[in-house]
Amino acid sequence: MELASYLAGERWSDHPSCTHPLLAALARLINDNTGDESRAKLVGLVPSIIGLTSDDLRVDARIALRCATTALPVAAAERQLALAVSVLAAEEMLARLDGAPSGRMSERSRRAMEEVPQAAEQARRFSRAARITERGFRRYAAPNAVQLSVVGIVQACAPDPDALLRQLLEDAITDCVALIRGPSVTVPTGLLAGQGRT
């Protein structure tokens, strides 16, 4: 994120205004929780996050949802309930923002929840009794989902958590590009593959 601030012509900071705050938080968490070799590969993603910012709450919800659905199937049992609640909260917020019926769920979310049926059922019971505000989602629920997800992946019994974290960041960037710049704009694959570094 400091490199992004420099390339964008901002003052040196790991909280640059050129990148959506939640996406920047995800990038910082992944950078801080990955090994040196994998961290070097993240540099190639920097150009793709410059100028990627918006006030649309859908961006926060998509980032939170991408993180939670990625972490939920691999996270330890004690983290699954919180991650399942995060999936439901993000889906509910997206439905509300889109004017869609409550309870709508994407195929990706449905598959992730099916991987952890007990946590999913507990999360549904919890979510029926709770209603989060848009402000509460942006300030608390979405950042918590991102943090829980990264920690869940880092501590998971996965064969290559660094690769999963890198893929998560790439996917979150792609989601943000589609929302902010439009679905016809794509991130150059060389950047997402860690090629074409400057």
pLDDT digits (tens, 9 = 90+) for 21-74: 999 999 999 999 999 888 888 888 877 888 889 999 999 999 999 999 999 999
Decide if pLDDT at 119 tops 80.
yes
Decide if pLDDT at 194 tops 50.
no
- Least confident residue range of 8-22, 27-41, 78-92, 106-120: 8-22
Backbone angles phi, psi at 188, to 5 degrees: -55, 130
Mean of per-residue pLDDT scores for the chain? 87
CB of 167 closer than 8 Å to CB of 71: no
Per-residue pLDDT at 144: 98
Chain CA centroid to CA 175, Å: 9
Query: Three-state SS across 63-115?
Result: HHHHHHHHHCCCCCHHHHHHHHHHHHHHHHHHHHHHCCCCCCCCHHHHHHHHC
Q: Locate all alpha helices (DSSP H) within 99-182, ordered by sequence.
A: 107-114, 117-129, 134-136, 142-154, 161-180
Put residue 51 in one of left, alpha, beta given phi > 0 → left and psi -120 to 50 → alpha.
Answer: left
Per-residue pLDDT at 191: 45
Residue boundaries of the structural domains of the chain: 2-192
Give the span between the Cα atoms of 11 and 69, in whole angstroms.
Answer: 34
Decide if pLDDT at 138 tops 70.
yes
What's this model's pTM, rounded to 2 decimal places?
A: 0.86
Give the span between the Cα atoms of 176 and 121, in whole angstroms.
Answer: 30
Per-residue pLDDT at 15: 60
Per-residue pLDDT at 188: 47
Decide if pLDDT at 102 tops 80.
yes
Mean pLDDT on 131-156: 96
pLDDT tier at 157 (50, 70, 90 boundaries)? Answer: confident
pLDDT tier at 151 (50, 70, 90 boundaries)? Answer: very high
169: amino acid identity, one letter: L
Per-residue pLDDT at 89: 97
CB of 67 closer than 8 Å to CB of 112: no
Backbone angles phi, psi at 156, to 5 degrees: -75, 160
